A and B are shown apart, each in its own frame.
Chain A
Amino acid sequence: MKAASVSNPETVQQSKRIDRALLVGLALILLLAIMPLLTEFAGGNYVLNLVMKAMILAIAAISLDLLIGYGGLVSFGHAAFLGLGSYVTGIALAEGTMGALPILGMVVLVCGLFALVTGALSLRTSGVYFIMITLAFGQMVYFFLTSLSNYGGDDGLTLWDTPQLFGFYVFQNGSGLFYSILVVLALTWLFVGRLAQSRFGRVLRAGKASPVRVETMGFDIFQYRLIAYVIAGVLAGVAGFLSACHAEFISPSTATWQNSGNLIIMVILGGMGTRNGALLGALFVVLIEEGLSLITHEWKLIFGPMLVLIVLFARGGLAGVIDRLGGRS
Chain B
Amino acid sequence: MTAILTLEGLVKNFGSLRVTDNVSLELRSNECHALIGPNGAGKSTLINLVSGSLGVEKGKVVLDGTDISSYSRPQRALAGLGRTFQITTIIPGFTVLENAALSAQAKDGSSHRFFGIAAAEEALNEKARRALAAFDLGHRQNVRAGDLSHGEHRQLELAMAMVGDPKVLLLDEPMAGMGMGEGRALTETLLTLKKSTPMLLVEHDMEAVFKLADRISVLASGRIVATGTPDEVRADEDARAAYLGSEAS
Q: How does the 8 Å CB contact mask read for A203-231 relative to B, with 1 for contact and 0 for none?
A: 10110011011111111110010010000
- A residues 188-202 in Cβ contact with B at 8 Å: 194-195, 197-202
Q: Is the CB of B90 within 8 A of A1?
A: no
B72 at the A/B interface (Cβ < 8 Å)? yes
Report chain A residues within 8 Å CB of B17. Answer: none
Q: Is the CB of A11 within 8 A of B125?
A: no
Report chain A residues within 8 Å CB of B90. Answer: 210, 213
A4 at the A/B interface (Cβ < 8 Å)? yes
Choose from A198, A219, A221, A227 the contact partner of B115 (Cβ within 8 Å).
Answer: A198
Given contacts A1-B122, A4-B120, contact A202 B102 (CB under 8 A): yes
Choose from A10, A198, A212, A224 the contact partner of B118 (Cβ within 8 Å).
Answer: A198
B91 at the A/B interface (Cβ < 8 Å)? yes
Task: Please choose the segment from B73-81, B178-186, B237-245 that sits at the chain A interface, where 4 or more of its residues have CB less than 8 A away.
Answer: B73-81
Q: How far is the CB of A112 from chain B (nearest CB, A)?
A: 15
Q: Is the CB of B77 within 8 A of A216?
A: yes
Q: How far is the CB of A146 from chain B (nearest CB, A)?
A: 36
Given contacts A200-B111, A217-B164, contact A209 B93 (CB under 8 A): yes
Q: How far is the CA of A293 from the CA of B26 in the complex (A)?
A: 72
Binding site for B on A (CB under 8 A): 1-5, 8, 10-11, 14, 194-195, 197-203, 205-206, 209-210, 212-221, 224, 227
Given contacts A216-B51, A217-B103, A218-B78, contact A198 B113 (CB under 8 A): yes
Report chain B residues within 8 Å CB of A202. Answer: 98, 102, 105, 111, 118-119
Kindly report which residue of chain B lies nearest to residue A201, judged by CB atoms: B118
Q: How far is the CA of A5 from the CA of B110 in the complex (A)?
A: 24
Kindly report which residue of chain B lies nearest to residue A191, judged by CB atoms: B114
Tell me the total A-B contact number using a CB cutoff of 8 A: 113
Q: Is the CB of A3 within 8 A of B120?
A: yes
Report chain B residues within 8 Å CB of A14. Answer: 95
Q: Is the CB of B102 within 8 A of A203?
A: yes
Kindly report which residue of chain B lies nearest to residue A273, judged by CB atoms: B93
Given contacts A8-B142, A202-B102, A209-B92, contact A218 B118 (CB under 8 A): no
Q: How far is the CA of A227 from the CA of B113 in the complex (A)?
A: 12
- B residues 8-57 in Cβ contact with A at 8 Å: 51, 53
Q: Is the CB of B89 within 8 A of A212?
A: yes
Q: Is the CB of A4 within 8 A of B114?
A: no
Q: How far is the CA of A269 from the CA of B22 in the complex (A)?
A: 54
Given contacts A198-B117, A202-B102, contact A11 B111 (CB under 8 A): no
